[in-house]
Amino acid sequence: MSKGKLAVQVAHAAVSSYIQASNSSRRWTEGWIREGQPKIVCKVATLDDLLRIYNDALRKKLPVSIIKDAGRTEIPPGTITCVGIGPAPTEAIDSITGKLPLL
C-alpha cells in the first residue's frame, strides 16, 4: 500500500472505532476528546496477527472495528487492512497492543 492509502485506512479505523465507542461508552469517548484524541499506530507482521488483535479486543468487550477495503484503488475488494480499537482505557488497549512495534 502507498503511504496515502495506508493513511486513509488508519483514518477509517479511527473513525469506525470511535463510532463503535460512542454507541457503547460515552464516558470513554468524552474522556478521549478531552485528552486531545490520542492515537497510536502499530504494525503487525501477518493478517493472522491482526485478526488475533481484533478478536482479543472483542473478547475484552472494547470498541473495535476491522477495515476491509472497497477495492477501488490499490488493493482487491475485501482486503483486511487494519483494526481500530477504542476509545477505551489505556490499560485495556495496551494489554492487547502494548508489545507491538510502532509504525
- Whether the link from the prior residue into 38 is cis, omega within 30° of 0, is no
- Joined together, the cell numbers standing for residue 87 give 476509545
pLDDT of 19-43, one tens digit each? 999 988 888 999 999 999 999 999 9
The span from the CA of 47 to the CA of 101, in Å, is: 15
The span from the CA of 99 to the CA of 33, in Å, is: 25
Burial class (CB in 10 A: 0-12, 13-18, 19+), 79: middle
Q: Enter the pTM of the model.
A: 0.93
CATH numbers and ranges of domains, the chain? 3-97 (3.40.1490.10)
Averaged over successive runs of 10 residues, the pLDDT of the chain (103 residues) comes to 96 96 90 95 98 98 96 96 97 97 96
Average pLDDT along the chain: 96
pLDDT at 24: 84
